[in-house]
Amino acid sequence: MNNFLVHNEETVCEMCKAAGVERVEDLFGQIPADVRMEKLDLADGLSELEVRNVIKSLANKNKSDYAIFAGGGIYNKYVPACIAQVAGRFEFTTAYTPYQPEISQGTLQVMYEFQTMICRLTGMDVANATVYDAGTACAEAILMACRISKKHKVCVFNSINPEYKQVIKTYTYSQAIEVDWVDEVPQNTSDYACVLVQTPDYYGEIITPPAADCLLVVCCDISTLSILKPPSEYGADIVVGDVQTLGVPMNYGGPSAGFMACREKYMRQLPGRLSGRTVDADGNQAFCLTIQTREQHIKREKATSNICSNQALIGLCAALYLSVTGEKGFKQAGALSAINAHNLSEKLKTKGIKTLNKNFFNEFTIEVADSDKFLAKLRENKIIGGIKLDEHRILVAATEMNSDDEIDKYVQCV
The pTM assigned to this predicted structure is 0.84
Cβ contact 153:182 at 8 Å: no
Q: What strand order describes the sheet that includes 258-262?
A: 126-127, 258-262, 238-242, 215-221, 194-198, 153-157, 178-182
Q: How far apart are CA 68 and CA 76, in angstroms?
A: 7
DSSP 82-150: HHHHHHTSGGG--SS-TTSTT--HHHHHHHHHHHHHHHHHH--SEE-S-BS-HHHHHHHHHHHHHHHHT
Q: What strand order describes the sheet that includes 354-355?
A: 354-355, 363-367, 393-397, 387-388
Instruction: State the pLDDT at residue 8.
Output: 87
Q: How far apart are CA 265 and CA 61, in angstroms?
A: 53
- H or E segment at 17? helix 9-19
Cβ contact 119:127 at 8 Å: yes
Instruction: State the pLDDT at residue 1.
Output: 45
Instruction: State the pLDDT at residue 6.
Output: 77
Q: What 3-state DSSP class applies to 347?
A: helix
Radius of gyration of the chain (CA): 25
Domains of the chain: 67-76+326-413 (3.90.1150.10), 82-319 (3.40.640.10)
Give pLDDT tens digits along the chain (414 positions). 456 677 888 999 999 999 999 988 888 888 888 888 777 888 888 899 999 999 999 988 887 789 999 999 999 999 999 998 998 887 777 666 666 666 778 888 889 999 999 999 999 999 998 889 999 999 999 999 999 999 999 999 999 999 999 999 999 998 889 999 999 888 899 999 999 999 999 999 999 887 889 999 999 999 999 999 999 999 999 999 999 999 999 988 888 999 999 999 999 899 888 889 999 899 999 988 887 655 555 566 667 776 656 688 899 999 999 999 999 999 999 999 999 999 999 999 999 999 999 999 999 999 999 999 999 999 999 999 999 999 999 999 999 999 999 999 999 998
Number of H helices, E strands in the chain: 10, 15
Exposure string of 16-42, with b = 16+ CB inside 10 Å and e = fewer, is beeeeeeeeeeeeeeeeeeeeeeeeee
> Could you tell me the sign of the dihedral formed by the alpha carbons of 226, 227, 233, 238, in that order?
negative
Q: What 3-state DSSP class applies to 285?
A: strand
348-370 confidence digits (pLDDT tens) = 999 999 999 999 999 999 999 99
DSSP letter, residue 205: B
Pairing verdict, β 383-384 and 215-221 = unpaired
Q: How far apart are CA 133 and CA 257, in angstroms?
A: 4
User: Which of 413, 405, 345 has its CA nearest to residue 381?
Assistant: 413
Angle between helices 371-380 and 404-413 (to 10 degrees): 130
Instruction: State the pLDDT at residue 182.
Output: 95
Q: What 3-state DSSP class applies to 264?
A: helix
Instruction: State the pLDDT at residue 201.
Output: 96
